[in-house]
């Protein structure tokens, strides 16, 4: 975790308006534990509504924080890269009067150390000015602008792993998963940090890995492992017996009580245990059976859509009882139109998202190890139990691990090609309008486009 370092400067601002009384009071700026982020504190002469405008020195009103009411408060200024000559100004209002409290110039802190930053190679589009992402190697969370400048970073210890990241709903920081890189060790959390790098709180997620979802009522859902001894067919086709790692989807209440929504061990008849030919040793404690890598909560259908790499299946289960709904792939019950053999199109699926029209969008590697990873969008005919590919994109990449597609409000698709180390924004007609490339050995887990850090969409 980054520590709070830096010096503070106290400034007394002169109001720049012809009002009967000054609403502006004392204003200070402190460098936070994240060098690019500054914290501005304010104390007004009475009850006011306050907001900060800030930006580069030649564009001081480029960004605006959310507003706050009271006689004092603090704002974190996030959105600028390292070593930027910048400025800010607090704007306060009360009883119909508005005062601008004078501009103050400052320089943002130095770039963070020990993180990987992608090189932007195409920058011809993109409505959202920022991207947030978890980094697999080295383990960290970062936010970048569309030019590739890092505007926020949080570096984890080398023995940790992180794959998932979100903005806090309060608009005051980030939350992310943090678990041991040695997957035989149970030390998993969802952690919350402020924009200034300060730790806010954490939620213990026993045996958790890969993905989680927070709900407005305080629940958290997360993927966890369930280790048991069982018979299985090994990668040579021979019968074997030993420890097997399956997956369970858990909902956890704020008081810590849990409920199993779905457990792979309850579906052995539908999904027999067969060792994946490329399962590796992700879980040292046993055979990596299902390897669920993501889930998406579909509020419209009251369901969870689970992506399972090692059994080449994407499965939707009911939130109420875990019963099967839609499914595609090796153990899927829906046929794929124009693809009678699932193996020609679905392999090691990752990160299935549900779109507004109930379509699914996910990454697939039909020939794992080849440069043919694809993003597929599926539409469903539930009466016929079929799925049809309505949009796809490939760019000669081998995602190997991780990777995802996210549909943006402008209709474009944000694609993370996983271990291939490339992130792209692609139009519906398959034009690449934005691209960033990591150096060798570095890549991202989950990546999301963000309009503003101060007004969570």
pLDDT tens-digit series, residues 164-185: 999 999 899 999 999 999 999 9
Q: Which of 72, 107, 142 is the last residue of a domain?
A: 107
Tens place of pLDDT for every residue, the chain, 457 residues?
Answer: 333 333 333 333 333 333 345 899 999 999 998 989 999 999 999 999 999 999 999 999 999 999 999 999 999 999 999 999 999 999 999 999 999 999 999 999 998 888 888 999 999 988 999 999 999 988 999 999 999 999 999 999 999 999 999 999 989 999 999 999 999 999 999 999 999 999 999 999 999 999 999 999 999 999 999 999 999 999 999 999 999 999 999 999 999 999 999 999 999 999 999 998 777 779 999 999 999 999 999 999 999 999 999 999 999 999 999 999 999 999 999 999 999 999 899 999 999 999 999 999 999 998 766 789 999 999 999 999 999 999 999 999 999 999 999 999 999 999 999 999 999 999 999 999 999 999 888 999 999 999 999 864 4
Do 164 and 207 fall into the same domain?
Answer: yes
Please check whether residues 172 and 55 belong to one and the same domain: no
Burial class of residue 93 (count of CB atoms within 10 Å of its CB; 0-12, 13-18, 19+): middle
The answer to whether residues 321 and 254 belong to one domain is yes
Q: Specify the number of domains making up the chain.
A: 2
CA angle, 294 as apex, 167 and 158 as ends, to 5°? 70
Rounded CA-CA distance 174/157 in Å is: 18
Does residue 130 belong to any structural domain of this protein? yes
Whole-angstrom Cα distance, residue 224 to residue 206?
7
Where in the sequence is the domain holding 196, given as residue range(s)? 119-450
Residue 158 maps to a domain: yes
Question: Burial level of 225, CB count in 10 A (0-12/13-18/19+)?
Answer: buried
How many residues would you count in the chain? 457
Handedness of CA 157, 446, 330, 301 (dihedral sign): positive
Residues 223 and 148 in one domain: yes
Q: Which of 83, 107, 131 is the last residue of a domain?
A: 107
Count of Cβ atoms closer than 10 Å to residue 35 Cβ: 22
**Residues 212, 320 share a domain:** yes
d(CA 363, CA 415): 9
What is the Cα–Cα distance from 352 to 336, expressed in whole angstroms? 16
Do residues 93 and 129 both lie within one domain? no
Q: Which tokens go with 222?
A: 């997360």
pTM of the prediction? Answer: 0.93
Residues 6+ apart with CB under 8 A from 242: 229, 230, 232, 286, 287
3 state DSSP class of 435: strand
344 φ, ψ (degrees, to nearest 5)? -75, -10
Q: Read off the tokens for 24.
A: 């502006």
Cβ–Cβ under 8 Å, residues 53 and 88: yes
Distance (Å, whole) CA 137 – CA 30: 31
Which DSSP string do the residues of 258-320 spell out, in sequence order?
EEEEEEGGGGTTTS--B--TT-TTSSTTSEE-S-EEEEEEETTTTEEEEEETTTTEEEEEETT
The CATH number of the domain where 89 resides is what? 2.60.40.10
Q: Please check whether residues 179 and 102 belong to one and the same domain.
A: no
Classify burial at 327, counting beta carbons within 10 Å of its beta carbon; exposed 0-12, middle 13-18, buried 19 or more: buried
**Boundary (domain end) residue, out of 107, 133, 156:** 107
Is the domain of 271 the same as that of 371?
A: yes
Nearest CA among 416, 417, 427 for reference residue 131:
416
CATH number at residue 436: 2.130.10.10
């Amino acid at each position: 975790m980054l520590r709070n370092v830096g010096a503070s400067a106290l400034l007394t601002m002169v109001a720049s308006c012809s009002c009967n009384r000054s609403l502006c009071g004392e204003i200070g700026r402190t460098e936070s534990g994240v060098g690019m982020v500054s914290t501005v504190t304010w104390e007004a002469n009475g009850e006011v509504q306050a907001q900060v405008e800030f930006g580069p020195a030649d564009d001081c009103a480029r960004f605006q924080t959310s507003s706050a009411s009271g006689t004092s408060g603090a704002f974190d200024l996030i959105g600028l890269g390292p070593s930027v000559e910048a400025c800010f100004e607090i704007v306060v209002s009360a009883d119909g009067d508005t005062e601008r409290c004078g501009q103050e110039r400052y320089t943002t802190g130095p770039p963070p150390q020990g993180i990987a930053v992608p090189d932007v190679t195409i920058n011809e589009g993109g409505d959202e000015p920022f991207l947030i992402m978890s980094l697999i190697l080295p383990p960290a969370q970062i936010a970048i602008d569309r030019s590739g400048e890092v505007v926020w970073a949080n570096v984890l210890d080398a023995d940790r792993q992180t794959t998932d990241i979100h903005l806090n709903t309060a608009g005051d920081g980030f939350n992310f998963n943090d678990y041991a890189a040695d997957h035989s060790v149970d030390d998993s959390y969802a952690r919350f940090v402020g924009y200034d790098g300060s730790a806010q709180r954490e939620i213990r997620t026993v045996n958790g890995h890969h993905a989680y979802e927070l709900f407005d009522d305080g629940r958290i859902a997360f993927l966890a492992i369930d280790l048991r001894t069982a018979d299985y067919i090994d990668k040579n086709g021979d019968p074997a017996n030993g420890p097997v790692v399956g997956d369970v989807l858990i909902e956890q209440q704020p008081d810590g009580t849990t409920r199993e929504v779905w457990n792979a061990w309850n579906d052995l008849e539908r999904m027999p245990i067969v060792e994946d030919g490329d399962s590796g040793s992700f879980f040292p404690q046993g055979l990596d059976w299902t390897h669920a890598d993501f889930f998406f909560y579909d509020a419209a259908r009251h369901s969870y859509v689970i992506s399972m790499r090692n059994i080449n299946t994407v499965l939707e289960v009911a939130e109420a009882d875990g019963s099967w709904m839609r499914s595609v792939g090796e153990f899927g019950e829906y046929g794929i139109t124009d693809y009678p053999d699932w193996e020609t199109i679905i392999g090691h699926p990752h990160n299935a998202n549900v779109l507004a029209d109930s379509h699914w969008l996910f990454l697939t590697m039909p020939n794992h190890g080849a440069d043919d990873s694809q993003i597929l969008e599926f539409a469903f005919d539930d009466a016929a139990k079929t799925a049809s590919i309505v949009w796809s994109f490939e760019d000669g990449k081998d995602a190997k691990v991780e990777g995802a597609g996210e549909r943006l409000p402008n209709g474009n698709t944000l694609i993370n090609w996983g271990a291939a180390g490339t992130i792209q924004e692609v139009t519906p007609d398959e034009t690449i309008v934005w691209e960033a490339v990591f150096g060798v050995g570095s890549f991202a887990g989950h990546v999301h486009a963000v309009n503003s850090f101060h007004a969570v969409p």
